[in-house]
Amino acid sequence: AVEIDSSAEFAFITDYASGKVLMAKNADMAMKPASMAKIMTVFITFQRIKEGGLSLDDTFLVSEKAWRKGGSKTFIEVGKQVSVEDLLLGVIVQSGNDAAIALAEGISGTEDGFADEMNFTAQKLGMHNTIFKNATGWPHADQTTTARDLNILTTALIREFPVDEYPRLYPMFAKKEFTFNGIKQGNRNPLLYKNMGVDGVKTGYLSSEKYSLASSIFRKERRLIAVASGFETKKSRSK
């Protein structure tokens, strides 16, 4: 087999069906999840929907904390009720920090309480080198993960919520744009626009580790899961 390298600092690629490792580069070295932490925020929300305690049509009240949060935004408004579906699309398509906090508070009461839920779920999934401190991936000294752990999470996301049973859930990740409050934003995942079979999942960016991406491709009846971080530019991440 041809050895394939990557300009990423951290990378872990697996075959979805067999779990076979196709590439590992600093896969267990500590790194920051950046906005890929939002995969867990979405996973827990999907879980609540699967269990029946929550529906896409339910609404959550937008707090001042969620509304004020900087970085990527869905532009939800303080004091307004927003549907779980719109908040999910805000997180998935627009990487909205405000929407992620609104989901966290709606599910657990506080973002800190939701972070506890994130860590509990991470341990159940076998993400033993991950600590979440918030629902957004916002920089925090104690927040850490690995490429392997995020691959475990991405694999679980696809496995736990099969499209034939939950047709409105995972397909959100393939949506190329979402308009909320009159503001249209495109999906930040560059691979969705290449017509190569990619159907998710989540980008990230931090000044410390630059650009990252957790992605999934389904082609010729085979699915691969790839997590990589530490790309210097958006272009190198896409390549």
Active-site annotation, residues: 35, 38, 95
Q: How far apart are CA 80 and CA 92, in angstroms?
A: 20
CA distances for 134 relative to 76, 90, 113, 235, angstroms = 19, 17, 9, 28
* Contact present, 174 and 191 (Cβ < 8 Å): no
Measured distance CA(135)–CA(233) in Å, rounded: 25
Give the max Cα distance, the chain.
Answer: 56
Q: What are phi and psi of 8, to 5 degrees?
A: -70, 150
**Which string of DSSP letters, residue by residue, matches 68-118?**
H--SS-----TT-EEEHHHHHHHHHTT--HHHHHHHHHHHHSSHHHHHHHH
Residues 178, 190: contact at Cβ < 8 Å? Answer: no
- Residue 24: CA count within 13 A, CB half-sphere: 12
Residue type, position 113, single letter: G
